[in-house]
Amino acid sequence: MVLANSDRLVSVTDARNTFNVLLTEAREGRMTHIVKGSEVVAHLVPATARIIDQDALLTAMATAVLHREVETISQKRDSGSVGAGIDTGRLFVWAWRTDVHLFDVLFAQFVTLLSASGGRPYNAAEAFDLVRGAMSSAGLGDSEVGAADRHTRTG
Kindly report, residue by residue over 16-69, the tens digit of the pLDDT.
999 999 999 999 999 999 999 988 899 999 988 888 889 999 999 999 999 999
The long-range contacts involving 33-42, CB below 8 angstroms and separated by at least 24 positions, are 33/2, 33/4, 33/5, 33/8, 33/9, 34/10, 35/9, 35/10, 35/11, 36/11, 36/12, 40/4, 40/9, 41/12
Q: Looking at residue 125, what is its pLDDT?
A: 96
Helix (H) or strand (E) holding 28: none
Q: Model pTM?
A: 0.78
